[in-house]
Structure 1
Amino acid sequence: MMKKVLILGAGGQIAQFAEAELAGKADLTLFLRHPEKLSQPVGTVITGDVFDTDQLAAAMKGQDIVYSNLGPQPMAKMAKAVIAAAEKAGVQRLIWVATVGIYREEPADHVAEVEAIYGAADDPTSYFGDERVGADLIEASSLTSTIIRPNTLTNGTAVEEVVVNGRHDTVSGQPIARRTVAHFISELVLNDDQYENESIAISTK
Protein backbone atom coordinates (compact mmCIF):
# COMPACT_ATOMS: atom_id res chain seq x y z
CA MET A 1 0.00 0.00 0.00
CA MET A 2 1.29 3.45 -0.91
CA LYS A 3 2.07 5.93 1.84
CA LYS A 4 -0.34 8.78 2.31
CA VAL A 5 1.56 12.06 2.10
CA LEU A 6 0.25 15.56 2.73
CA ILE A 7 2.32 18.31 1.12
CA LEU A 8 1.92 21.79 2.62
CA GLY A 9 2.82 24.70 0.37
CA ALA A 10 2.38 22.35 -2.56
CA GLY A 11 2.67 25.10 -5.17
CA GLY A 12 6.32 25.87 -4.42
CA GLN A 13 9.03 25.02 -6.93
CA ILE A 14 10.71 22.37 -4.80
CA ALA A 15 7.36 20.88 -3.81
CA GLN A 16 6.25 20.55 -7.42
CA PHE A 17 9.48 18.78 -8.39
CA ALA A 18 8.91 16.40 -5.47
CA GLU A 19 5.29 15.84 -6.42
CA ALA A 20 6.33 14.86 -9.94
CA GLU A 21 8.84 12.35 -8.53
CA LEU A 22 6.36 10.90 -6.05
CA ALA A 23 3.49 10.58 -8.51
CA GLY A 24 2.45 6.94 -8.65
CA LYS A 25 4.71 6.07 -5.71
CA ALA A 26 2.71 7.75 -2.92
CA ASP A 27 -0.88 8.82 -2.35
CA LEU A 28 -0.49 12.60 -2.44
CA THR A 29 -2.68 15.34 -1.01
CA LEU A 30 -1.62 18.84 -2.06
CA PHE A 31 -2.52 21.63 0.38
CA LEU A 32 -2.03 25.23 -0.73
CA ARG A 33 -3.68 28.64 -0.84
CA HIS A 34 -3.41 29.15 -4.60
CA PRO A 35 -4.09 25.96 -6.58
CA GLU A 36 -3.55 27.83 -9.83
CA LYS A 37 0.19 27.62 -9.06
CA LEU A 38 0.14 23.89 -9.72
CA SER A 39 1.46 23.23 -13.21
CA GLN A 40 0.38 19.59 -13.10
CA PRO A 41 -1.65 18.45 -10.07
CA VAL A 42 -0.76 14.86 -9.17
CA GLY A 43 -3.05 14.14 -6.26
CA THR A 44 -5.98 15.39 -4.26
CA VAL A 45 -5.88 19.19 -4.11
CA ILE A 46 -7.08 21.10 -1.05
CA THR A 47 -7.31 24.87 -1.16
CA GLY A 48 -6.56 25.86 2.40
CA ASP A 49 -4.84 28.01 4.99
CA VAL A 50 -2.42 26.46 7.49
CA PHE A 51 -3.60 28.90 10.13
CA ASP A 52 -7.05 27.30 10.08
CA THR A 53 -6.23 24.55 12.56
CA ASP A 54 -9.46 22.60 12.08
CA GLN A 55 -9.09 22.59 8.29
CA LEU A 56 -5.42 21.64 8.48
CA ALA A 57 -6.06 18.88 11.02
CA ALA A 58 -8.81 17.49 8.80
CA ALA A 59 -6.38 17.40 5.86
CA MET A 60 -3.79 15.65 8.05
CA LYS A 61 -6.19 12.99 9.33
CA GLY A 62 -5.09 9.57 8.15
CA GLN A 63 -1.86 10.78 6.56
CA ASP A 64 1.37 8.85 7.13
CA ILE A 65 3.71 11.78 6.51
CA VAL A 66 3.39 15.56 6.36
CA TYR A 67 5.98 17.31 4.20
CA SER A 68 6.03 21.06 4.80
CA ASN A 69 7.27 23.28 1.99
CA LEU A 70 5.87 26.40 3.69
CA GLY A 71 7.57 29.76 3.66
CA PRO A 72 9.28 32.04 3.59
CA GLN A 73 7.54 33.77 6.50
CA PRO A 74 6.17 33.68 9.20
CA MET A 75 7.82 30.33 9.86
CA ALA A 76 7.50 30.39 13.66
CA LYS A 77 3.75 31.00 13.43
CA MET A 78 3.39 28.33 10.76
CA ALA A 79 5.37 25.83 12.85
CA LYS A 80 3.00 26.36 15.77
CA ALA A 81 0.01 25.83 13.48
CA VAL A 82 1.43 22.66 11.94
CA ILE A 83 2.34 21.18 15.33
CA ALA A 84 -1.12 21.91 16.74
CA ALA A 85 -2.89 20.40 13.73
CA ALA A 86 -0.63 17.31 13.66
CA GLU A 87 -1.21 16.64 17.34
CA LYS A 88 -4.96 17.07 16.85
CA ALA A 89 -4.96 14.74 13.83
CA GLY A 90 -2.69 12.14 15.42
CA VAL A 91 -0.02 12.45 12.73
CA GLN A 92 3.52 11.78 13.90
CA ARG A 93 5.97 12.06 10.96
CA LEU A 94 6.95 15.51 9.68
CA ILE A 95 9.49 16.67 7.11
CA TRP A 96 10.10 20.38 7.58
CA VAL A 97 12.09 22.53 5.15
CA ALA A 98 14.06 25.43 6.66
CA THR A 99 17.31 26.98 5.40
CA VAL A 100 21.05 26.89 5.95
CA GLY A 101 22.31 29.64 8.25
CA ILE A 102 19.84 29.43 11.12
CA TYR A 103 22.42 27.93 13.49
CA ARG A 104 25.31 30.09 12.24
CA GLU A 105 26.65 26.82 10.91
CA GLU A 106 28.19 28.16 7.73
CA PRO A 107 31.98 28.70 7.56
CA ALA A 108 32.95 31.46 10.01
CA ASP A 109 34.11 33.86 7.30
CA HIS A 110 30.69 33.63 5.64
CA VAL A 111 28.38 34.13 8.63
CA ALA A 112 28.61 37.94 8.80
CA GLU A 113 28.05 38.21 5.05
CA VAL A 114 24.84 36.17 5.01
CA GLU A 115 23.48 37.69 8.21
CA ALA A 116 23.90 41.14 6.66
CA ILE A 117 21.38 39.96 4.06
CA TYR A 118 19.06 37.70 6.05
CA GLY A 119 19.39 39.06 9.58
CA ALA A 120 20.92 37.61 12.73
CA ALA A 121 19.91 34.07 13.63
CA ASP A 122 19.22 35.17 17.22
CA ASP A 123 16.84 37.95 16.13
CA PRO A 124 13.35 36.40 15.86
CA THR A 125 12.14 39.33 13.76
CA SER A 126 14.68 38.60 10.99
CA TYR A 127 14.34 36.01 8.23
CA PHE A 128 17.03 33.76 9.74
CA GLY A 129 15.72 34.31 13.26
CA ASP A 130 12.14 33.46 12.30
CA GLU A 131 13.33 30.32 10.52
CA ARG A 132 15.37 29.39 13.61
CA VAL A 133 12.41 29.79 15.97
CA GLY A 134 10.27 27.67 13.67
CA ALA A 135 12.89 24.92 13.55
CA ASP A 136 13.34 25.05 17.33
CA LEU A 137 9.58 24.65 17.83
CA ILE A 138 9.52 21.63 15.54
CA GLU A 139 12.50 20.07 17.34
CA ALA A 140 10.87 20.61 20.75
CA SER A 141 7.52 19.15 19.69
CA SER A 142 6.27 15.59 20.16
CA LEU A 143 6.51 14.94 16.41
CA THR A 144 9.07 12.68 14.76
CA SER A 145 10.66 15.28 12.54
CA THR A 146 13.38 15.76 9.99
CA ILE A 147 14.38 19.39 9.48
CA ILE A 148 16.05 19.88 6.10
CA ARG A 149 18.21 22.98 5.62
CA PRO A 150 19.14 23.37 1.96
CA ASN A 151 22.22 25.39 1.04
CA THR A 152 21.84 28.33 -1.38
CA LEU A 153 19.41 27.22 -4.08
CA THR A 154 20.13 27.08 -7.80
CA ASN A 155 18.04 26.24 -10.88
CA GLY A 156 20.26 23.40 -12.06
CA THR A 157 18.39 20.67 -13.91
CA ALA A 158 20.55 17.67 -12.97
CA VAL A 159 20.13 15.67 -9.76
CA GLU A 160 23.45 16.18 -7.99
CA GLU A 161 25.32 14.18 -5.36
CA VAL A 162 24.34 15.45 -1.91
CA VAL A 163 26.51 16.28 1.09
CA VAL A 164 24.68 15.95 4.43
CA ASN A 165 25.86 17.87 7.51
CA GLY A 166 24.37 17.41 10.96
CA ARG A 167 22.88 19.90 13.39
CA HIS A 168 26.22 20.84 14.93
CA ASP A 169 28.43 20.53 11.85
CA THR A 170 29.91 23.36 9.83
CA VAL A 171 28.31 23.23 6.39
CA SER A 172 30.88 21.76 4.03
CA GLY A 173 29.13 21.69 0.66
CA GLN A 174 28.19 24.04 -2.14
CA PRO A 175 24.90 25.53 -3.45
CA ILE A 176 22.28 22.97 -4.38
CA ALA A 177 19.68 22.76 -7.16
CA ARG A 178 16.01 22.88 -6.24
CA ARG A 179 15.52 19.70 -8.25
CA THR A 180 18.18 17.96 -6.14
CA VAL A 181 16.51 19.11 -2.92
CA ALA A 182 13.21 17.73 -4.23
CA HIS A 183 14.83 14.40 -5.10
CA PHE A 184 16.36 14.14 -1.63
CA ILE A 185 12.97 14.87 -0.04
CA SER A 186 11.19 12.39 -2.31
CA GLU A 187 13.63 9.65 -1.34
CA LEU A 188 13.15 10.50 2.33
CA VAL A 189 9.36 10.36 1.98
CA LEU A 190 9.65 6.87 0.53
CA ASN A 191 12.21 5.78 3.16
CA ASP A 192 11.20 7.92 6.10
CA ASP A 193 12.97 5.97 8.85
CA GLN A 194 16.12 7.98 8.00
CA TYR A 195 17.19 11.17 9.81
CA GLU A 196 14.47 10.86 12.44
CA ASN A 197 14.55 13.78 14.90
CA GLU A 198 17.52 15.30 13.11
CA SER A 199 18.19 18.71 11.58
CA ILE A 200 20.35 18.28 8.50
CA ALA A 201 21.94 20.67 6.04
CA ILE A 202 22.07 19.45 2.44
CA SER A 203 24.49 20.78 -0.16
CA THR A 204 26.36 19.48 -3.19
CA LYS A 205 30.03 18.55 -3.47
Structure 2
Amino acid sequence: MTNVLILGANGRISRLARDLFLKETDVKLTLYLRNAHRLKMVNPERERIIEGDVNDLEKLKEAMAGQDVVYSNIGSDIVRATKNIVAAMEKTSVKRLIAINALGIYDEVPGKFGEWNKRMCGSNLFEFRKAADIIEASDLDYTIIRGAWFTNKDEVDYEITQKGEPFKGTEISRKSIAAFVVKLAVTPGLEVRHSVGINKPNTDGDKPAFY
Protein backbone atom coordinates (compact mmCIF):
# COMPACT_ATOMS: atom_id res chain seq x y z
CA MET A 1 0.00 0.00 0.00
CA THR A 2 1.29 3.46 -0.94
CA ASN A 3 1.88 6.05 1.77
CA VAL A 4 1.36 9.68 0.72
CA LEU A 5 2.30 12.75 2.72
CA ILE A 6 0.29 15.88 1.87
CA LEU A 7 2.03 19.13 2.82
CA GLY A 8 -0.37 22.05 3.12
CA ALA A 9 -3.21 19.60 3.66
CA ASN A 10 -5.85 22.25 4.27
CA GLY A 11 -5.38 23.87 0.86
CA ARG A 12 -8.33 23.68 -1.52
CA ILE A 13 -6.59 21.44 -4.04
CA SER A 14 -5.17 19.32 -1.23
CA ARG A 15 -8.63 18.73 0.20
CA LEU A 16 -9.96 17.70 -3.19
CA ALA A 17 -7.01 15.35 -3.68
CA ARG A 18 -7.59 13.89 -0.21
CA ASP A 19 -11.19 13.07 -1.12
CA LEU A 20 -10.13 11.42 -4.37
CA PHE A 21 -7.38 9.41 -2.67
CA LEU A 22 -9.89 8.06 -0.16
CA LYS A 23 -12.63 7.34 -2.72
CA GLU A 24 -10.60 6.00 -5.62
CA THR A 25 -7.44 4.42 -4.15
CA ASP A 26 -6.25 2.39 -1.16
CA VAL A 27 -3.51 4.94 -0.37
CA LYS A 28 -2.73 5.80 3.26
CA LEU A 29 -2.50 9.53 3.92
CA THR A 30 -0.51 11.69 6.30
CA LEU A 31 -2.01 15.19 6.43
CA TYR A 32 0.51 17.84 7.46
CA LEU A 33 -0.62 21.38 8.25
CA ARG A 34 0.08 24.22 10.65
CA ASN A 35 -3.29 24.17 12.41
CA ALA A 36 -4.55 20.62 12.83
CA HIS A 37 -7.95 21.71 14.13
CA ARG A 38 -8.84 22.86 10.61
CA LEU A 39 -9.20 19.25 9.46
CA LYS A 40 -11.45 16.50 10.73
CA MET A 41 -10.51 12.87 10.41
CA VAL A 42 -12.53 11.15 7.69
CA ASN A 43 -11.04 7.64 7.75
CA PRO A 44 -8.97 6.88 10.87
CA GLU A 45 -7.76 3.59 9.37
CA ARG A 46 -6.18 5.35 6.40
CA GLU A 47 -5.34 8.82 7.69
CA ARG A 48 -3.31 10.57 10.31
CA ILE A 49 -3.01 14.30 10.93
CA ILE A 50 0.23 16.00 11.97
CA GLU A 51 0.39 19.61 13.08
CA GLY A 52 3.62 21.17 11.92
CA ASP A 53 5.34 23.80 9.81
CA VAL A 54 7.28 22.86 6.68
CA ASN A 55 10.04 25.13 7.93
CA ASP A 56 10.52 22.89 10.99
CA LEU A 57 13.00 20.47 9.42
CA GLU A 58 13.03 17.97 12.29
CA LYS A 59 9.23 17.76 12.41
CA LEU A 60 9.13 17.41 8.65
CA LYS A 61 11.63 14.55 8.71
CA GLU A 62 9.49 12.76 11.31
CA ALA A 63 6.44 13.10 9.07
CA MET A 64 8.35 11.79 6.04
CA ALA A 65 9.54 8.60 7.70
CA GLY A 66 8.01 5.66 5.83
CA GLN A 67 6.41 7.75 3.08
CA ASP A 68 6.43 6.74 -0.58
CA VAL A 69 5.17 10.00 -2.09
CA VAL A 70 5.28 13.63 -0.95
CA TYR A 71 2.68 15.99 -2.40
CA SER A 72 3.55 19.62 -1.70
CA ASN A 73 0.91 22.33 -2.00
CA ILE A 74 2.79 25.18 -0.32
CA GLY A 75 2.19 28.70 -1.59
CA SER A 76 3.85 31.00 0.93
CA ASP A 77 7.58 31.43 1.60
CA ILE A 78 7.96 28.98 -1.26
CA VAL A 79 11.75 29.09 -1.63
CA ARG A 80 12.53 28.42 2.03
CA ALA A 81 9.80 25.77 2.21
CA THR A 82 11.11 24.01 -0.90
CA LYS A 83 14.65 23.92 0.46
CA ASN A 84 13.35 22.25 3.64
CA ILE A 85 11.17 19.78 1.77
CA VAL A 86 14.04 18.68 -0.48
CA ALA A 87 16.42 18.45 2.48
CA ALA A 88 13.96 16.38 4.52
CA MET A 89 13.32 14.03 1.61
CA GLU A 90 17.04 13.53 1.06
CA LYS A 91 17.60 12.84 4.76
CA THR A 92 14.79 10.26 4.88
CA SER A 93 15.49 8.71 1.44
CA VAL A 94 12.02 9.53 0.11
CA LYS A 95 12.32 10.02 -3.65
CA ARG A 96 8.91 10.86 -5.15
CA LEU A 97 7.83 14.51 -5.00
CA ILE A 98 4.78 16.10 -6.60
CA ALA A 99 4.96 19.88 -6.25
CA ILE A 100 2.48 22.59 -7.17
CA ASN A 101 4.17 25.60 -8.75
CA ALA A 102 3.02 28.40 -11.09
CA LEU A 103 2.63 29.02 -14.80
CA GLY A 104 4.96 31.52 -16.39
CA ILE A 105 8.14 30.66 -14.49
CA TYR A 106 9.99 29.76 -17.70
CA ASP A 107 8.44 32.61 -19.70
CA GLU A 108 6.49 29.86 -21.45
CA VAL A 109 3.11 31.61 -21.65
CA PRO A 110 2.73 33.20 -25.09
CA GLY A 111 0.97 36.32 -26.31
CA LYS A 112 -1.28 38.70 -24.45
CA PHE A 113 -2.15 36.09 -21.83
CA GLY A 114 1.53 35.78 -21.00
CA GLU A 115 1.79 39.54 -20.57
CA TRP A 116 -1.34 39.59 -18.40
CA ASN A 117 -0.06 36.70 -16.29
CA LYS A 118 3.24 38.52 -15.65
CA ARG A 119 1.40 41.64 -14.52
CA MET A 120 -0.89 39.70 -12.22
CA CYS A 121 1.84 37.51 -10.68
CA GLY A 122 4.57 40.12 -10.39
CA SER A 123 7.60 39.13 -8.33
CA ASN A 124 5.93 35.89 -7.23
CA LEU A 125 7.05 34.33 -10.51
CA PHE A 126 10.67 34.86 -9.53
CA GLU A 127 10.13 33.06 -6.22
CA PHE A 128 8.32 30.15 -7.84
CA ARG A 129 11.06 29.83 -10.44
CA LYS A 130 13.69 29.65 -7.69
CA ALA A 131 11.66 26.92 -5.99
CA ALA A 132 11.43 24.96 -9.25
CA ASP A 133 15.20 25.33 -9.80
CA ILE A 134 15.85 23.85 -6.34
CA ILE A 135 13.70 20.83 -7.12
CA GLU A 136 15.15 20.33 -10.59
CA ALA A 137 18.71 20.46 -9.21
CA SER A 138 17.92 17.65 -6.76
CA ASP A 139 18.10 13.88 -7.31
CA LEU A 140 14.42 13.48 -6.49
CA ASP A 141 11.86 11.80 -8.74
CA TYR A 142 9.87 15.00 -9.00
CA THR A 143 6.93 16.24 -10.99
CA ILE A 144 6.40 20.01 -10.96
CA ILE A 145 2.85 21.09 -11.83
CA ARG A 146 2.33 24.53 -13.38
CA GLY A 147 -1.40 25.16 -13.40
CA ALA A 148 -3.36 27.73 -15.37
CA TRP A 149 -5.66 30.06 -13.41
CA PHE A 150 -7.85 28.07 -11.05
CA THR A 151 -11.60 27.64 -11.15
CA ASN A 152 -13.94 25.79 -8.80
CA LYS A 153 -15.78 23.97 -11.59
CA ASP A 154 -16.87 20.43 -10.74
CA GLU A 155 -15.06 18.84 -13.65
CA VAL A 156 -11.97 16.86 -14.57
CA ASP A 157 -10.87 18.09 -17.98
CA TYR A 158 -7.23 18.80 -18.69
CA GLU A 159 -4.32 18.59 -21.08
CA ILE A 160 -0.59 18.66 -20.40
CA THR A 161 2.33 20.61 -21.85
CA GLN A 162 5.97 19.96 -21.10
CA LYS A 163 8.76 22.33 -20.11
CA GLY A 164 10.05 23.97 -23.28
CA GLU A 165 6.62 23.92 -24.94
CA PRO A 166 4.30 26.94 -25.12
CA PHE A 167 1.69 26.89 -22.36
CA LYS A 168 -1.87 26.31 -23.56
CA GLY A 169 -5.16 27.68 -22.28
CA THR A 170 -5.93 30.14 -19.50
CA GLU A 171 -7.81 28.17 -16.83
CA ILE A 172 -8.02 24.82 -15.04
CA SER A 173 -10.33 23.47 -12.37
CA ARG A 174 -8.87 22.69 -8.98
CA LYS A 175 -10.55 19.29 -9.24
CA SER A 176 -8.61 18.57 -12.45
CA ILE A 177 -5.31 19.31 -10.74
CA ALA A 178 -6.32 17.14 -7.77
CA ALA A 179 -7.17 14.26 -10.13
CA PHE A 180 -3.81 14.64 -11.86
CA VAL A 181 -1.99 14.62 -8.50
CA VAL A 182 -3.73 11.39 -7.52
CA LYS A 183 -2.89 9.80 -10.88
CA LEU A 184 0.76 10.78 -10.49
CA ALA A 185 0.92 9.39 -6.95
CA VAL A 186 -0.42 5.96 -7.87
CA THR A 187 1.23 5.55 -11.30
CA PRO A 188 4.94 4.70 -10.97
CA GLY A 189 7.13 6.49 -13.49
CA LEU A 190 4.48 8.90 -14.74
CA GLU A 191 5.98 12.33 -15.60
CA VAL A 192 9.03 11.69 -13.41
CA ARG A 193 11.58 14.52 -13.53
CA HIS A 194 9.21 16.57 -15.65
CA SER A 195 7.85 20.08 -15.16
CA VAL A 196 4.40 20.07 -16.71
CA GLY A 197 1.81 22.70 -17.50
CA ILE A 198 -1.84 21.79 -17.02
CA ASN A 199 -4.85 23.55 -18.48
CA LYS A 200 -8.40 22.97 -19.63
CA PRO A 201 -8.49 22.45 -23.41
CA ASN A 202 -9.96 25.18 -25.61
CA THR A 203 -9.64 27.97 -23.06
CA ASP A 204 -7.21 30.13 -25.01
CA GLY A 205 -7.60 33.87 -24.66
CA ASP A 206 -6.00 37.10 -23.55
CA LYS A 207 -6.94 36.29 -19.94
CA PRO A 208 -9.17 33.79 -18.10
CA ALA A 209 -12.84 34.10 -19.01
CA PHE A 210 -13.80 34.79 -15.38
CA TYR A 211 -11.68 37.98 -15.28
TM-score with structure 2 setting the length: 0.89
1:142 equivalent in structure 2: 139
Deviation at 1:115, TM superposition (A): 1.4
8 Å contact from structure 2 (residues 113, 170) kept in 1 = no
- CA deviation profile, 1:132-167 (whole Å, cap 9, x unmatched): 10011001012110001111100101222x110000
2:30 equivalent in structure 1: 29
**Partner SS state of residue 94, structure 1:** strand
Which amino acid in 2 is paired with 1:151? A
1:168 equivalent in structure 2: 164
**Partner SS state of residue 193, structure 1:** coil
Deviation at 1:108, TM superposition (A): 2.8
Deviation at 1:37, TM superposition (A): 2.7
Could you list the runs of 5+ residues in structure 1 that have no partner in the other structure? Answer: 120-125
Report the Cα distance in structure 1 between the residues aligned to 2:53 and 2:35, rounded to whole angstroms. 10
- CA deviation profile, 1:119-144 (whole Å, cap 9, x unmatched): 1xxxxxx2111011001100101211
2:12 equivalent in structure 1: 13
Report the Cα distance in structure 2 between the residues aligned to 1:67 and 1:45, rounded to whole angstroms. 15
2:86 equivalent in structure 1: 83
Runs of 4 or more off by more than 4 Å in structure 1?
39-42
Deviation at 1:170, TM superposition (A): 0.5
Report the Cα distance in structure 1 between the residues aligned to 2:164 and 2:188, rounded to whole angstroms. 22
Identity %: 36
Deviation at 1:203, TM superposition (A): 0.4
**Partner SS state of residue 181, structure 1:** helix
Which amino acid in 1 is paired with 2:189? D
Report the Cα distance in structure 2 between the residues aligned to 1:114 and 1:66, rounded to whole angstroms. 28
8 Å contact from structure 1 (residues 163, 173) kept in 2 = no
Count of residues in correspondence between the two structures: 196
**Partner SS state of residue 136, structure 1:** helix
Supply the RMSD in Å over aligned alpha carbons. Answer: 1.3
Report the Cα distance in structure 1 between the residues aligned to 2:28 and 2:6, rounded to whole angstroms. 11
Which amino acid in 2 is paired with 1:193? G
- CA deviation profile, 1:102-130 (whole Å, cap 9, x unmatched): 111111322222212211xxxxxx21110
2:121 equivalent in structure 1: 118
Aligned partner (choices 27, 44, 56) of residue 60 of structure 2: 56
Which amino acid in 1 is paired with 2:14? A
Report the Cα distance in structure 1 between the residues aligned to 2:111 and 2:170, rounded to whole angstroms. 15
1:122 equivalent in structure 2: none
Aligned partner (choices 125, 132, 141) of residue 129 of structure 2: 132
8 Å contact from structure 2 (residues 64, 94) kept in 1 = yes
Report the Cα distance in structure 1 between the residues aligned to 2:116 and 2:169, rounded to whole angstroms. 17
Which amino acid in 2 is paired with 1:165? T
1:191 equivalent in structure 2: 187
Could you list the runs of 5+ residues in structure 2 that have no partner in the other structure? Answer: 202-211
**Partner SS state of residue 145, structure 1:** strand
